[in-house]
Structure formats: C-alpha cells, structure tokens
Amino acid sequence: MNEPTNSQAVPPTKPAGRNARRELPLLERRTFLKLAAAGASLAAGGEVANLLASLERVSAADVLDARAAADAEHQWAFIIDLRRCDGCMDCTKGCQEEHFLPAEKEWIKVHHLTDASGGDYFMPVLCQMCERPPCVQVCPVTATYRLDDGPIVIDQSVCIGCRMCMAACPYGVRFFNWEAPADVPPEAESDSPLYQVPQIQGTVGKCDSCAHLTRDGDLPACVRSCSMEAIYVADFATDVATNGRDSVGLAQYLRENDVFRLKEHLGTEPRVYYVAGHGQDLDY
C-alpha cells in the first residue's frame, strides 16, 4: 500500500500585486471555519475585523491579516468524494496533460488503500493548500509561497533546488525535477508561478491548484477530467462547490457529509476535504 509521506514566511521581495508573496493569516481552526461560513456576505473592512475580534485567541495581527486576505475575490478549496472515486486516474492524466508532465510526475496521485473493514478504496492526493503550509515556512529563498486566494505556488526562477520544502511537506506531493523537461509547444510556455511550463531542471514542482484556470473562471484540470465527477472545486467566498456538472452549497455540503482532512493533527489546516462513506480509518 502506498501511503503519502512527506514558521512565518519571509517578507515579500517583489512589489505588491495580484500574485505578490505575503503572509496570510495563521488562524485557529474555528476562526477559519467561521470566516468561511460567513462567505461573500462579509465586506473586506470592519465586518471582518469585528467577526475576528469576537472569536477566541485572535490577536490584532490576525485581524489585520484576515482583512487583507479578504481582498481576494475567491477563496479556493477542493472536495474529493471517495464514494465516487474508482481509481481510474483520469484526474492524474488530465493534470499531466494540462501541465505537460511526464508519466512519472503525478501531481495528483491516486493511492490504493484498505479501509477498516478490509475493503479497498482509492484516495487522490494533491497539494492540500494548507493554511499553515510547512513548505512555505522552510523555504530559504521564498520560492514557494501562498496566493491570496489559497493556492500555494513555486517560483522556479527563484527555487535553488534545496528540497527543504519536500522534506517539510507531510503529504508527499512535491517532486524534484531531476531531468531536463521535454519540449512543449511554444504557445504553451509560461514562466508564471501560477502555470510553470515547462518545469525547470533542478527545481521542485507540484500541483498548483490550476490557479491559472480558476482565476479565469475555468475548472481545474483534475475536476474537468474526472470521469466519476468525484472532485469538486470549491470557493468559500461564494459558498459554492462544483464538479463541473452539479453545484452544491459548500457550507451545507461540508456539514451534511462525512468530511475529513488529511493529517489534521499536524495543524496544517488543509483546504482539501474528503468525503468518506466506506468505513475508512480517519486516522490516516
């Protein structure tokens, strides 16, 4: 059985902007969930500050950081319904096609696991979009950082290939680019951290949550390609999640389903939620 293996960010070095690197709030779990439930109805000003100030164990810095994070139009997350996943790996292949990755680079890896009753099930694991990302905290050159709307990306023009982020990630979702990348069509080339194509030899790569697509109103590649419609892209700001065919209310869906997150005891606060339903061991 293959099981995935795998603390404040350095101040930004680039001018502020849509993709600027800066710290995002490291909030308590209850704080994050209450902010998410508030959704788009909260303005980016005093209402957010008032909400935060009313919660337990929230510092003034948290209030300021949360107000800044609220400037983002969306707050992305993923839901993966394990009841639907049949292990076909269409999501993995779709991701590879979108990012021109070789077969051995599985940015979303589908693990074949055994549940508490001895039955089989499949668990796709991609970047968990942590609220408290260890990878960001250990990067000595701030090559990996978190966007205002949630995705964690890598600026491969800055990455020095030290692989400290790989050691720090508890989910085993980062890959070192040992080999020179294959040629890609000139029109597909991009040096943006939101969509790094091709990958650069000697640097680290990983799932970028298809930030280049969601910011243009498109579905991530894994959601588009999932033939079982098991993967939902979700937005806390609008309280909506969709698998490309069905749309659901995010807060209500999380409340009504048997939802868990991977390795919650580590305090990374991932934004990827799993729906169980097959008797899985939730200590995974």
Q: What is the pLDDT of residues 220-237, one digit of tens each?
A: 999 999 999 999 999 999
Mean pLDDT confidence for 240-259: 93
Tell me, yes or no, whether 55 lies in a domain: yes
Q: What is the pLDDT of residues 139-193, one digit of tens each?
A: 999 999 999 999 999 999 999 999 999 999 999 999 999 999 999 999 999 999 9
By the 8 A CB rule, do 169 and 144 touch? no
Q: Are residues 36 and 137 located together in one domain of the fold?
A: no
pTM: predicted TM-score of the whole model, two decimal places? 0.75
Banded model confidence at residue 278, pLDDT cuts 50, 70, 90: low
Strand-pair partners of 152: 146
Q: How many domains does the chain have?
A: 2
Q: Are residues 139 and 183 located together in one domain of the fold?
A: yes
Domain boundary among 230, 257, 276: 230
Containing 240, the helix (H) or strand (E) segment is: strand 240-242
Structural domain for 58, as ranges: 29-69
Q: Which of 4-18, 29-43, 134-148, 237-251 has the lowest mean pLDDT?
A: 4-18
Q: Give yes or no for residue 11 having a pLDDT over 70.
A: no
Residue 122 tokens read as 């499949």
pLDDT value at residue 99:
98
By the 8 A CB rule, do 221 and 97 touch? yes
Q: Give yes or no for residue 246 having a pLDDT over 50.
A: yes
Q: Are residues 114 and 42 located together in one domain of the fold?
A: no
Q: Are residues 45 and 100 located together in one domain of the fold?
A: no
Exposure of 278 in the CB half-sphere (CA atoms within 13 A): 18
Q: Are residues 37 and 146 located together in one domain of the fold?
A: no
pLDDT value at residue 9:
35
Coil, strand or helix: which one is 197? Answer: strand
Integer Cα distance of 166 and 138 in angstroms: 10
DSSP codes joined into one string, 74-142: --EEEEEETTT--S--HHHHHHHHHHT--TT--SSEEEEEE-TTS-EEEEEE-----SS-HHHHH-TT-
pLDDT value at residue 41:
43
By the 8 A CB rule, do 200 and 192 touch? no
For the chain, how many residues are written?
A: 284
Domain boundary among 208, 230, 252: 230
Q: Are residues 127 and 152 located together in one domain of the fold?
A: yes
pLDDT value at residue 44:
42
Q: Are residues 203 and 222 located together in one domain of the fold?
A: yes
Strand-pair partners of 35: none
Q: What is the pLDDT of residues 29-79, one digit of tens each?
A: 444 444 444 444 443 444 444 444 444 443 444 444 454 455 689 999 999
Q: Are residues 90 and 160 located together in one domain of the fold?
A: yes
Instruction: Quote the mean pLDDT of the chain.
Output: 81
Banded model confidence at residue 117, pLDDT cuts 50, 70, 90: confident
Banded model confidence at residue 114, pLDDT cuts 50, 70, 90: confident
pLDDT value at residue 25:
38
Q: Are residues 35 and 81 located together in one domain of the fold?
A: no
Banded model confidence at residue 7, pLDDT cuts 50, 70, 90: very low
Q: Give yes or no for residue 213 having a pLDDT over 70.
A: yes
Q: Are residues 63 and 82 located together in one domain of the fold?
A: no
Banded model confidence at residue 258, pLDDT cuts 50, 70, 90: confident
DSSP 59: -
Integer Cα distance of 170 and 180 in angstroms: 27
Q: Give yes or no for residue 281 having a pLDDT over 70.
A: no
% of the chain surpassing 90 pLDDT = 68
Strand pairing class (204-206; 195-197): unpaired
pLDDT value at residue 17:
45
Question: Which residue, among 195, 198, 202, has the nearest Cα to 185 in the 3D structure?
Answer: 198
Q: Are residues 61 and 80 located together in one domain of the fold?
A: no
Residue 215 one-letter amino acid:
R
Integer Cα distance of 137 and 101 in angstroms: 27
